């Protein structure tokens, strides 16, 4: 595992549940073994729900050629089967590659630690989207009976960071889907979450339609909070108007607005807050010529 991936949570499985490094000595809590793939079952508390078919096939091809370089981690059940703690992608890809057994670390862990280990390992290795992380944290709190404070210690995050993730689950389903699909970022979602429920969808649409940056989304949320009347009077414009503004913003400035005139037309305003922005605007215009 690279240093970059270890920064995902700040603490690895070693820090939480003891060593898993293959170079470290086996202890009563950990042993190496070759396990039949048919004896392995996925963790029902697995925080990741989506496995991309294309990347799985790529991993399967690599495993077919080179074998499984990094063993998966399992918990032995009383019936002789094994639950995956970490490495479900490798298990799935190995099935595609036609392997019959997998190298695995067998860990002696309590059931209450199983989900915590799966959550930490997946966040570090699989780059879960923010909603998957939030759902995993919620299940860790609810099913393991942990407080947010205790759970924050488990995953090596600040209490405030955990709260920010958990707040995402109170957002409208449209906002959660946009975040899950990568249409907006965690920063956008945090800005939207600061609004009253009825304004969150409106803010989402504006963020997507105008491709707002996180800073602009925060400014939008501030505007919606401080001047609710301005939100009520915002007008809907034809698609051609919106495209025109977006084209201007793309080459000139982010601070462009459009308003209806009494005659039924429209007026586009470019806002410059200081002389420096005027000079910048002139520079951009000269580049267009």
DSSP string of 38-105? GGEE--TT-S-----HHHHHHHHHHHHHH--SS-EEEEE-TTS-EEEEE-HHHHHHHHHHT-SEEEEE
Q: Does residue 77 form part of some domain?
A: yes
Q: Which residues, at least 6 apart from 73, have a Cβ–Cβ distance to it below 8 Å?
A: 13, 20, 84, 85, 86, 87, 104, 105, 107, 117, 121
Q: Does residue 244 form part of some domain?
A: yes
Last residue of a domain, one of 84, 106, 128: 128
CA 284, CA 270: separation in Å to the nearest integer? 13
Last residue of a domain, one of 110, 128, 146: 128
Distances (CA, A) of 156 to 18, 43, 98, 109, 275: 15, 22, 37, 19, 46
Neighbours of 207 (CB within 10 A): 25
Secondary structure class of 37 (helix, strand, coil): helix
| CA-wise closest residue to 35 among 79, 92, 73, 89 | 73
Q: Are 139 and 45 in contact (CB under 8 A)?
A: yes
Catalytic residue from among 31, 54, 65, 88: 88
Secondary structure class of 23 (helix, strand, coil): coil
Q: pLDDT grade, residue 15 (50/70/90)?
A: very low
Q: Are 168 and 131 in contact (CB under 8 A)?
A: yes
Instruction: Write out pLDDT tens, residues 195-251.
Output: 988 889 889 988 888 888 899 999 889 888 887 665 655 555 555 655 666 666 666
| CA-wise closest residue to 179 among 153, 152, 157, 200 | 200
pLDDT in the model for residue 154: 73
Q: Are 172 and 202 in contact (CB under 8 A)?
A: no
pLDDT in the model for residue 103: 94
pLDDT higher than threshold 70 for residue 4: no
pLDDT in the model for residue 169: 92
pLDDT in the model for residue 20: 42
Q: Does residue 107 form part of some domain?
A: yes
pLDDT in the model for residue 198: 80
Q: Does residue 182 form part of some domain?
A: no
- Tell whether pTM > 0.75: no
Q: Which domain range does residue 28 map to?
A: 3-128
H-helix segments, the chain = 3-6, 13-17, 53-66, 88-97, 111-126, 130-144, 148-155, 159-167, 173-180, 186-193, 197-209, 214-226, 228-232, 239-251, 275-288
Q: Does residue 139 form part of some domain?
A: no
CA 43, CA 36: separation in Å to the nearest integer? 16
Q: Does residue 150 form part of some domain?
A: no
Q: Does residue 257 form part of some domain?
A: yes
Count of domains observed in the chain: 2
Instruction: Write out pLDDT tens, residues 93-152.
Output: 999 999 999 999 998 777 667 766 766 666 555 567 888 888 878 877 777 777 888 878
Last residue of a domain, one of 67, 102, 128: 128
Instruction: Write out pLDDT tens, residues 242-276.
Output: 566 666 666 665 566 666 666 767 777 777 778 88
The Cα angle at residue 73 between residues 117 and 146, in degrees rounded to 5: 15
Q: How far apart are the first and last CA of the chain?
A: 50
Q: Does residue 231 form part of some domain?
A: no
Q: Which residues pair with 72 in a beta bridge?
A: 104
Position of tokens 């002389």? 275
Instruction: Write out pLDDT tens, residues 42-57.
Output: 887 665 666 778 888 9
Report the CATH number that the domain containing residue 101 is assigned in CATH: 3.90.1530.10
pLDDT higher than threshold 60 for residue 18: no
- The verdict on whether 247 is a catalytic residue reads no
Secondary structure class of 273 (helix, strand, coil): coil
């Amino acid at each position: 595992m690279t240093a970059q991936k270890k920064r995902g949570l700040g603490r690895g499985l070693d820090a939480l549940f003891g060593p898993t490094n293959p170079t470290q000595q086996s202890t009563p809590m950990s042993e190496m073994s070759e396990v039949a793939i048919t004896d392995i079952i996925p963790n029902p508390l697995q925080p990741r729900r989506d496995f991309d078919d294309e990347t799985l096939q790529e991993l399967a091809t690599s495993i077919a050629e080179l074998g499984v370089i990094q063993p998966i981690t399992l918990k032995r059940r009383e019936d002789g089967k094994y639950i995956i703690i970490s490495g479900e992608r490798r298990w799935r890809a190995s099935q595609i590659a036609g392997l019959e057994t997998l190298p695995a670390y067998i860990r002696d862990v309590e059931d209450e630690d199983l989900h915590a280990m799966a959550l930490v390992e997946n966040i570090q290795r699989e780059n879960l989207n923010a909603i998957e992380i939030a759902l995993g944290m919620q299940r860790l709190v609810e099913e393991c009976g942990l407080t947010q404070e205790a759970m924050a210690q488990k995953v090596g995050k600040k209490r405030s960071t955990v709260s920010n993730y958990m707040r995402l689950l109170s957002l409208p389903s449209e906002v959660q889907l946009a975040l899950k699909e990568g249409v907006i970022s965690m920063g956008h979602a945090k800005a939207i979450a600061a609004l009253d429920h009825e304004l969150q969808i409106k803010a989402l649409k504006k963020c997507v339609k105008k491709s707002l940056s996180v800073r602009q989304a925060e400014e939008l949320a501030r505007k919606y909070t401080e001047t609710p009347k301005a939100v009520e009077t915002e007008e809907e414009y034809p698609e051609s108007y919106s495209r025109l503004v977006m084209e201007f913003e793309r080459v000139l400035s982010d601070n462009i607005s459009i308003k209806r005139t009494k005659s039924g037309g429209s007026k586009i305003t470019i806002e410059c807050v200081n002389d420096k922005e005027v000079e910048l605007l002139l520079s951009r215009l000269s580049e267009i010529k």
